[in-house]
Amino acid sequence: MMYDTLFLDRDGVINKKLEGRYITDFKDFEFIKGSLDAIINLKSVFNKIIIVTNQQGIGKEIMSVEDLQIVHEKMQEAISKEFKCINKIYFCPHLESEECECRKPGIGMLLQSKADFPDINISNSFLVGDSDTDIQAGKRFGVKTIKVDNNFTLSKWANSII
C-alpha cells in the first residue's frame, strides 16, 4: 500500500450536512457527489479507512447509539455489500459542554484507534475533515491533514493522490 490509514470525518466529508439537524435515520443520509466511489478507490491505496465523527445528537437525546449504528450499517452496505470498506467507526456521543477528550478537536478517538490498531503508521496517515476542529485534531495526533469543502471534495482529493 502507498499509504497507511485514512481517517475520515463523516458529516460534510462523506455525506451532506443537515442544517441544524442530526441524521437520525438513513433516509436523511445523502452521499456527497463522488464520495462513495472515492472511498472505494481510496481503499486501494490505504491499508485502513477509519471514521472519526462527533455525534452530539446522542448527548442531546435526539438519537440513540442504536439509531447511529443502524445509519452506519446502512452506510457500509451502500458503499459495498461485498466487503467492509470502513474498518472501524469511532463516534463521540458527548455534548460539547461536557468537555470530553474524544470530541474533536480532542484526539481521544484517534488515540483509541491507535490502541485498537497498534500498527497504524501515523506519519503515513491522513485525516480528511471539513471543520477546523478536524484539522486541529489531526495535527495534534500527527497525521497529514486535508480540509475539504463544497468545491474541494473528498472525490477531488482522492483523484489527486491515486
Q: Please confirm, yes or no, whether 28 is among the known catalytic residues.
A: no
Binding Mg ion (rule: CB under 5 A), the pick from 9, 23, 146, 153 is 9
CB of 26 to Mg ion, least distance (A): 18
Phi and psi at residue 82, in whole multiples of 5°?
-80, -40
Binding Mg ion (rule: CB under 5 A), the pick from 12, 59, 106, 138 is 12
CB of 51 to Mg ion, least distance (A): 11
Q: Which is nearer to Mg ion, 47 or 158 (CB)?
A: 158
Q: Please confirm, yes or no, whether 4 is among the known catalytic residues.
A: no
Q: Does 130 bind Mg ion (CB under 5 A)?
A: yes
Catalytic residue among 11, 67, 130, 134: 11
Q: Does 4 bind Mg ion (CB under 5 A)?
A: no
Q: Under rule CB under 5 A, which residues in 70-89 are in contact with Mg ion?
A: none
Strand ranges for 1-140 from DSSP E: 3-8, 46-54, 88-92, 126-129
Q: d(Cα 84, Cα 80) in Å, to the nearest integer?
A: 7
Residues labelled catalytic: 9, 11
Residues that bind Mg ion (CB under 5 A): 9, 11-12, 130-131
